[in-house]
Amino acid sequence: MPERFDPKTLRQSWPLPADPRPIVTFGAGSIVSDAHFPAYKKGGFPVAGLYDPDIEKAEKLASEWGVKAYSSIEEAAAEPGAIFDLATPPKVHADVLRALPDGAAALIQKPMGSDLAGATEILKICREKDLKAAVNFQLRFAPMMLALKDAIAKGWLGEVVDFDAWLALATPWELWAFLKGLPRIEITMHSIHYLDLIRQILGDPQGVHAKSLGHPSHDMAQTRTSAILDYGDTVRCALSINHDHKFGRKYQACEFRVCGTEGAAYLQLGVNLDYPHGEPDILEIHPKGGDAWVSVPLEGAWFPDAFVGRMANLQRFVSGEDAELVSSVEDAWNTMALVEAAYASSASPATPLEQRP
């Protein structure tokens, strides 16, 4: 009798380190208060303190969480045995990394620089200083994504041949003041998560066709993207992203459809719906040999649980408990190369139509 699909056997979390190291965070923005610190508290990771050039903002957040507010980058970087957590804008990453002790461990907020040149500079710094550095592509560690990848690894979908990402939602870009005036926003700051996850599942594509653009109702550089990743003649991969669907919840969506030769999966990324309040994440699988969709009971959500797993892997890699550093700067550079290719494609002319004779 064939094995029966049991959704409760799918992996949904990353093991925690036996002896967590203290964390020093650079940055005091909403991502720290809404995701990083709640995740570290949930995972049992001690936070030593934080630094932000806005001293008043840093002291306020430090007081709320009972941690130290450092007076300078140098003071923060001198914390002995720390894991350094860069929740900083991409243009700041390189300066912070240069201030860290040689051989230190660092988690770098995505993106890995403002563009591929910035990512290359960061990669060189990490190599020169022998930093154990990873990029915070934490979607890889979301419970629903760990479960999806486990289902794929166990053969419940067969060979993956289709990957669709469909977003139609209203994203409050005004929450991130540093985005104002940036030349690259949607792919670099948002869809980069999806491109990175797709790379982990499908590998690196041969190329990309993309168009990313803004919207007449605001002056953000890009908030809408269509993209096709080229995986040859067997695998189809497409993304349709619209952050300006501001017509009520009824027809909004934030979902993936992953189809294999023998099964399929549906996922809802709930945090993006009514962000930052969000809705529940959803994972349903139509497994190989099954005749119905099966709901996978999730043991957490992208926010904050993925941040727990992301930090756990880095800490365990530093201690020798994990052999692989997921999303290391070496691997993350390839995600940045995909982002760069998408923007190059967007700036290039489309194939013109033949004119009627």
Residue 2 has pLDDT above 60, yes or no: no
Domain holding 241: CATH number? 3.30.360.10
- Identify the domain boundary among 300, 316, 351: 300
The pLDDT, as a whole number, for residue 138 is 97
Structure tokens at 285: 């699988």
- Same domain, residue pair 175 and 285: yes
Establish if 219 belongs to a structural domain. yes
Check the CA dihedral 237-308-39-188 and report its sign.
negative
Residue 1 has pLDDT above 90, yes or no: no
Give the 3-state secondary structure of residue 219. Answer: coil
Establish if 65 belongs to a structural domain. yes
Long-range contacts from 29-35, C-beta under 8 angstroms, 24+ separation: 29/87, 29/176, 29/178, 30/175, 30/176, 30/276, 31/87, 31/109, 32/61, 32/87, 33/61, 33/64, 34/276, 34/303, 34/304, 35/303, 35/304, 35/307
State pLDDT tens for residues 305-339.
Answer: 999 999 999 999 999 999 999 999 999 999 999 99
- Same domain, residue pair 95 and 156: no
The pLDDT, as a whole number, for residue 147 is 98
The pLDDT, as a whole number, for residue 10 is 98
Q: In whole numbers, what is the pLDDT of the chain averaged over residues? A: 97
Q: Percent of the chain scored above 70 by pLDDT?
A: 99
- Same domain, residue pair 123 and 146: no
- Same domain, residue pair 199 and 147: yes
- Same domain, residue pair 186 and 47: no
Establish if 8 belongs to a structural domain. no
Confidence of residue 178 (pLDDT cuts 50, 70, 90): confident
- Same domain, residue pair 130 and 80: yes
Q: What is the mean pLDDT of residues 20-46?
A: 96
State pLDDT tens for residues 208-256.
Answer: 999 999 999 999 999 999 999 999 999 999 999 999 999 999 999 999 9
Counting the structural domains of the chain, the total is 2
- Same domain, residue pair 104 and 191: no
Residue 30 belongs to what domain range? 23-138+307-328
Domain holding 83: CATH number? 3.40.50.720
The pLDDT, as a whole number, for residue 175 is 85
- Same domain, residue pair 93 and 234: no
- Same domain, residue pair 167 and 290: yes
- Same domain, residue pair 199 and 115: no
- Same domain, residue pair 156 and 269: yes
Establish if 6 belongs to a structural domain. no
- Same domain, residue pair 193 and 66: no
Establish if 198 belongs to a structural domain. yes
| This model's pTM is above 0.85 | yes
Do residues 32 and 52 lie in contact, with contact meaning Cβ atoms separated by under 8 Å? no
Establish if 3 belongs to a structural domain. no
